Amino acid sequence: MPIHVVYISPKHMDPTYAIERAGLGPEVELREWRATDPSALAEELQDADAVMTWRVRLNEEVISRLHRCRVIIRFGVGFDLVDIDAARWHGIPVCNVPDYCTNDVADHAMGLLLALNRAIPAFTENVRSGNEGWSWAGAGKLRRLTGSTLGIVGLGRIGTAVALRAKAFGLNVAFHDPYVPDGTERALGLTRLSLDDLLGSADFLSLHTPLTEETRGMAGSDFFAKAKQGVTLINTSRGPVVDLDALESAMRKGHVGAAALDVLPVEPPDPAPGLIQAWRDEEAWVRGRLIVTPHAAFYNEESDRDMRVKATQAVRDVLDGLPVRNQVNL
């Protein structure tokens, strides 16, 4: 019986799928489906030996049709789009690719932090408006980065990479992560704090948590009320971790000084939430205080290739009877 691997994606990542085809081998038939709702692919999924998915939700209904599936591979780090409990019940391991873009997302997070700290968006807009905006004082009061405190929520691979970069810039780095073993802070030269203490002391907050029931909406009204006045928020983790209405309210009040978002609860936003629409409309209160990037922190040519190679190798290993790597639904 031929080996079938189904690749589900809302768009072509590569029309030739050269990396995947080479990694899987000539005896594997790769079926590519551009879909946002895989529930319509009943027949195609029934004889799949493996499923590779990129930014497509796989719920229990879909997973229950995978009668032959030996592994589900989620392109990327986050796996909240896959019902991992349903997959476990059906005996299907779910794996992610946790290490392909660690440095890239950390670089993006630091780039956003530096851009807002140095008021680069505000300076750029001022100069673009004409020579009357040619002033070092045009972005208001700036604070020296060295000696400021970065608070990291979630000290996984990416959070750790951000911490090391921030220390090189002279920031004091503290973190909150109840799942990190004791002693991690000593090994890295960081400060471990409760979430409330972190919020009250950090000049910058960078979010690096997975999306779980515990973290969904975590950065809401109470979160921002406890944060230090004028804090800068950076989110390169998952969009639904931040309540955008609460963030807008906190920014309008001035409690949150600035924010940078690489991820949104709905991508692309349709309709755009109030904060995003105000930013698009260039309303005065938000001008220079918000950066939005299109869930692109992971991306460069090298990371894209790494993701595809690692995901494909994970499928090939399972097909060859080798141990499953990076399983998230043990």
Enzyme catalytic residues = 238, 267, 295
Cα angle 181, 186, 190; round to 5: 95
Question: Which of 326, 330, 328 has the alpha carbon at shortest distance from 80?
Answer: 328
HSE-up of 6 (CA within 13 Å, CB side)? 27
Q: Which residues contact 80 (CB under 8 A, 6 or more apart)?
A: 210, 211, 212, 238
Q: What letter would DSSP give residue 6? A: E
What count of other Cβ atoms lies within 10 Å of the Cβ of residue 233?
Answer: 26
- 21-55: string of b/e by CB count within 10 Å (b at 16+)? bebbeeebebebbeeeebeebeebbebbbbbbbbb
- The phi and psi torsions of 51 (rounded to 5 degrees) equal -125, 130
Which residue intervals of the chain are DSSP H helices?
Answer: 18-24, 42-46, 60-63, 84-89, 102-117, 120-128, 157-168, 184-188, 195-201, 221-226, 244-252, 274-280, 301-319
Q: Following DSSP, what letter does each residue of 165-221 receive, concatenated?
A: HHHHTT-EEEEE-TTSPTTHHHHHT-EE--HHHHHHH-SEEEE-----TTTTT-BSH
Alpha-carbon torsion (231, 236, 237, 241), positive or negative: positive
